Amino acid sequence: MEKRFLGKTGLEVSVIGFGGIPIQKLDKEKAIDLIKELSIQGINFIDTARGYTVSEELIGYGLEKVGRDKFVLATKSMARDYEGMKNEIETSLNNLKTKCIDLYQLHNVRTEAEYDNIIGEDGALKALEESKAEGKIKHIGITSHDLNILEKAIESGYFETIQFPYNPVERQAEELFERANKLGMGVIVMKPLAGGAIINAALSLRFVLENSNISSAIPGMDSIEQIKENAKVGNEYKRLSDAEREIILAEAKDLGTEFCRRCGYCAPCPQGIDIPVQFLMEGYYSRYNLKDWAKERYTSFTNKASDCIECGQCETRCPYDLPIRKMLKKVVNILG
């Protein structure tokens, strides 16, 4: 597996990492099998979060079986204050069954007010710095979906890594990545497959890795087959041909800007609608010539887009500020 340095941290990470969101859907034994397969395929970078329900615990079981020393381990928390972050770090250490976490990140910082709280006198950054001094964590990072927030973070000198979405559709951070790299910061890419919206997965990953400012891309994976397919990109890496680049850029153009990355932050819906799945079915129907299958699947759902009461709770949680209510209406118009 090709490896790159995570900025000036000294950590050498696989260019394909493991995104820990989907593992929360598995049971303990299947989760352990996934962690074993990561080691077999040469993937040494794992990224999870306190907010991914049981993801940390399941990864912890896998680390216990496979060996903590085989992985560079990253997690993150939404805590913004000192006491909250101190507690979160202890929980993460316990869940992951480790004495030290390689990278602890501030998770999804969305507003300047949040950022100011974090770096304030009783903010979460103070707790992270103390834990680093105590040897409980090695490095401090930050994740966001807002370019302005990460621009401030990069210039602050507080953080050693950043994490931001990047794929053939979402390329707005390219200059920011270059600046971070020049300052010696590690650059971690979330959503390298646009949350599963991109069908040509290998081409998308290769597109991402062509950017030399990027340290690692972390697609979410919940099966051994996905691990093998994605790891192959790092194990047999080659740049895109002109024809392949045309294919992946055409797909990106077709997706447009209003599409769901399936991050799940919109949940829970008060009406029990699995919102990302509604958009997935519409995508299969509209873009991938699976009309009958998508219609049949959609019709079988107990709760579907037509049950939306337009309360708007989902939109307040969406890190991409998508007009979810409008998008659900489109699903209803197409699928019923």
Residues 140, 228: Cα–Cα separation, whole Å = 30
What is the maximum span of the chain, computed from C-alpha positions, in angstroms? 58
Are the C-beta atoms of residues 92 and 104 closer than 8 Å to each other? yes
Among all residues, which ones are annotated catalytic? 52
Residues 183, 147: Cα–Cα separation, whole Å = 17
Given this model, what pLDDT does residue 22 score?
87
Given this model, what pLDDT does residue 218 score?
97
3-class DSSP state of 135: coil
**Which pTM was predicted?**
0.85
Given this model, what pLDDT does residue 291 score?
87
Domains belonging to the chain, first-starting first, are: 3-250 (3.20.20.100), 275-335 (no CATH)
What are the strands, taking DSSP E only, across 124-261?
Answer: 137-143, 161-165, 186-190, 216-217
* Positions in the chain whose pLDDT score sits under 70: 287-289
Phi, psi for residue 97 in degrees, rounded to 5 = 55, 50
- As given in the structure block, the two tokens for residue 80 are 């913004």
Given this model, what pLDDT does residue 294 score?
86
Given this model, what pLDDT does residue 288 score?
62
